[in-house]
Structure 1
Amino acid sequence: MPPHANSRSARLRRTLLAGLIAAAVVFPVSAATSPDAPAPQAVRFSQSASASERYTASLANLGEAARMAADAGRADRAAKLRAMRAGGTARFLSFDGHGTGRAVEVLGDLATADRVAVLVPGSDTTLDTYQRFRAGALALQQRLQAEHPRSAVVAWLGYDTPGTVSTTVLTATRADDGARELAPFLEELRRLGPSGAHQALLCHSYGSVVCARTGTGPAVTDMALFGSPGTGADTAAGLPTRARVWAGRGSDDWIEGVPHVRVAGVGFGVDPVDPAFGALAFDAGTGGHSDYLRPGTTSLDSLARIVLGTTAPTEASHA
């Protein structure tokens, strides 16, 4: 085996060992102190349900979940669910309060939006951390609206994200589950909006693994991978999409140090910002792993231009 291959394998073993040790310490504690809050059955919608019907039913379900959490003595979860309701004005296409939770929220008007960004989050995104995820979605929506009023952002927490300190974050199992949910949702989203609307997938961290496994239709014109640990594919051309694939990483993002190897189904292989991967590069600025959607950042501006289609591929150079 070549020396550089031995070095990569050694780095991967060290990363896996650290993750397994931390998981062994963290998970028993978290399981003992954070029991699931009770929640009502999630609403299942027919394909004929309108966006407004889904908003109304999901908001009612969210309110009931908050009441049940409060009655069960889960005051912290209840408060976070009430915050999600935003005084009864939030627009959720779906909501499920069981376990760590799932929620799909729309910021903007789907009925008129001809540019729709779908944000796919990474690890540790749950109902308990939802406001952090939503803050990024709101920053993007405000940036888009300033330039193009007919735009919307969908905050898609539609899968059970892995924990950052867990064995699941090292494999594609959760990503495969997420991809099976995301692909039909994108088709559903196309039916809910105006004909010909463009969709852009914006995929952060482990969410980039989800997107890389999601088959997309012609409505998805762009896929942006940022803060990515890899995708499991060797090249952008190997992804199940005809969309333009972009990749960017902030200069202070710790994920640069993650070994880009794949051994026995563990790890995600080629770094998407490596020229060999073949993605279009975008300027992600100097931020860290959680900074890509912060207001005023270079990365937020770059992602907004990808959504709006105002960054031509010929303007991009490989990282």
Structure 2
Amino acid sequence: MREGSLRRAVRARRLRRALLAATVMAAVVVPVSAAARPRIPAPAPAVLAPPTASNLGGIYEANRADAAEAARMAAAHGDRTRAAADRAMAAPSRRFLSFDGRGTGRAVEVFGDLAHADRVAVLVPGSDTTLETYGRFRAGALALRDRLGPRGAVLAWLGYETPGTVSTTVLTPDRAEEAAPRLRAFVRGLRGVVGRSAHISLLCHSYGTVVCGRAAPGLDVSDIVVVGSPGTGASSAAALRTSARVWAARGSADWIAYVPHASAGLFGTTVGFGSDPVSPSFGARVFRAGAAGHSGYFAPGSESLANLTRIVLGDTSEVTRA
């Protein structure tokens, strides 16, 4: 019996290595058309004071002005898609803690009354999230905000240049290592708005879970939640070196289950992100995500969104565990 178990374990390791190699080769040989896209001009972001509960209005106004100018510049450049995205962000109802229209773009949008919230969720997106595709990320933030009630606020943190889904960068931690210091600094600054008593939850999706894994040590948050994760880069929840509760979920229709949860050194970098966060050996609090596909964790009415809401509100005994 032991010999049979050993043979199965060896075969499983070989399969993971083969899948990892195939994934690497696919990313290397498939051309990435976006790489040839010309850079879109936009103004440099406004230099603003650190956010506080009293100066949010001025920050929102300055970032809307930046978005309007970015829209004008993108239109003059002939990029109608980016111009439309920037123009939408300049609408009077939008509230951004930061906006940068250069390159693929960065933005941090606020949903809810941030100055008076005692439960705050920071959403960290995965690959292929840019200003042009921001609408789908925003929709998830709005769906969560709608469930939180008056005590909750949501921040959609597009604070880094996300990798393309079909690219070599999505297989390595390089973008995550660049993003992690930005996320740490953002959470520190957020405390200047919401105060020490507010509970902050970090909700991380797909490649965003790698970002959160890199940023986790010492991060001042109550919960770190990873959904649709290819791995965090850590071997276990304990290896994240955080005092936060670590949660993980994967929907039954999520293709990420077929991505090898392994890592290997290749060409001077690390390829892959290691242990599966929903495996028992990882040690996270695994919760049910129903039939969510890879982009469905924040879908209105879903089991996944219901559990994410419970975690943010601190109703952890009500979370349906897997």
Normalising by structure 1, what TM-score? 0.92
Q: How much identity, in percent, do the aligned residues show?
A: 56
Matched, 1:37 2:40: yes
Residue in structure 2 matched with residue 97 of structure 1 by the alignment: 101
Q: Tell me the CA shift for residue 8 of structure 1.
A: 2.0
**CA deviations over 1:47-103 (Å, ceiling 9, x no partner):** 366322211111111111011111221112111111223x31111000001100000
Q: Give how far 1:46 is off.
A: 2.9
User: Are residues 215 and 260 of structure 1, via their aligned partners in 2, closer, same or farther at CA, if it must alter by over 3 Å?
Assistant: closer
Give the counterpart of 1:52 among 49, 52, 57: 57
Q: Secondary structure at the match of 1:220?
A: coil
Q: 1:130 aligns with which of 125, 131, 134?
A: 134
Q: Which digits, 9 at most, give the CA deviation of each residue in 1:254-283, with x for residues without a partner?
A: 000000111111101110000000000111
User: 1:216, CA displacement in angstroms?
Assistant: 5.8
Contact kept? 1:213, 1:240, Cα under 8 Å: no
Could you tell me which amino acid in structure 2 is paired with residue 293 of structure 1? F
Deviation by residue 1:211-233 (Cα, 9 ceiling, x = unmatched): 01114657410111000000111
- Report what 1:287 is aligned to: 292
**Distance in 2 of aligned mates of 1:56 and 1:77:** 20
- Would the aligned equivalents of 2:118 and 2:198 in 1 still touch at CA under 8 Å? yes
Kept in 2: contact 1:105–1:155 (CA 8 A): yes
For 1:79 and 1:293, the matched residues in 2 are separated by: 25
CA contact (8 A) 1:232 1:270 kept: yes
User: What residue is the counterpart of 1:205 in the other structure?
Assistant: 206
* Aligned CA distance change for structure 1 residues 167 and 31 (closer, same or farther; 3 Å): closer
Q: Would you say 1:296 and 2:301 are equivalent positions? A: yes
The letter for the 1-side match of 2:202 is: L
1:114 paired with 2:107, answer no
RMSD: 1.7
Is the 2:120–2:198 contact (alpha carbons within 8 Å) kept by the matching residues of 1? yes
Distance 1:224 1:48 in 2: 25
Matches within 5 A, 1:166-245: 166-215=167-216, 219-245=220-246
Helix, strand or coil at the partner of 1:153: strand
Alignment partners' CA distance in 2, 1:159 and 1:76: 20
Partners of 2:132 and 2:171 in 1: how far apart? 22
C-alpha contact 1:118 1:200 (8 A) present in aligned 2: yes
State whether structure 2 residue 141 is matched by structure 1 residue 141: no
Helix, strand or coil for the counterpart of 1:20? helix
Shift of 1:5: 2.9
Deviations 1:235-266 (A, max 9, x none): 10111321000000000000000001111111
Which residue of the partner structure matches residue 29 of structure 2? Answer: 21
Q: Per-residue deviation at 1:6?
A: 2.7
In the other structure, the counterpart of 1:156 is 157
Instruction: Report matched runs for 1:79-90 at 5 Å.
Output: 79-85=84-90, 87-90=91-94
Q: 1:298 to 1:48 in 2, by over 3 A?
A: closer
Opposite residue 127 of structure 2, the aligned amino acid is S
Q: Which amino acid aligns with 2:158?
A: L
In 2: Cα distance, 1:316 partner to 1:214 partner: 27
Q: Any conservation in 2 of the 1:186–1:216 contact (CA below 8 Å)?
A: no
The answer to whether the Cα contact below 8 Å between 2:100 and 2:106 also exists between their aligned partners in 1 is yes
Question: Would you say the 8 A contact 1:253–1:288 is kept in 2?
Answer: yes
Q: Mark the runs of 5 or more structure 1 residues left unpaired by the alignment.
A: none
Q: Assess if the C-alpha contact under 8 Å between 2:184 and 2:219 holds in 1.
A: no
CA distance in 2, matches of 1:232, 1:306: 23
> 2:18 aligned with 1:10, yes or no?
yes
Length, aligned pairs only? 308
SS of the equivalent of 2:247 reads strand
SS in 1 for 2:163: coil
CA distance in 1, matches of 2:89, 2:66: 12
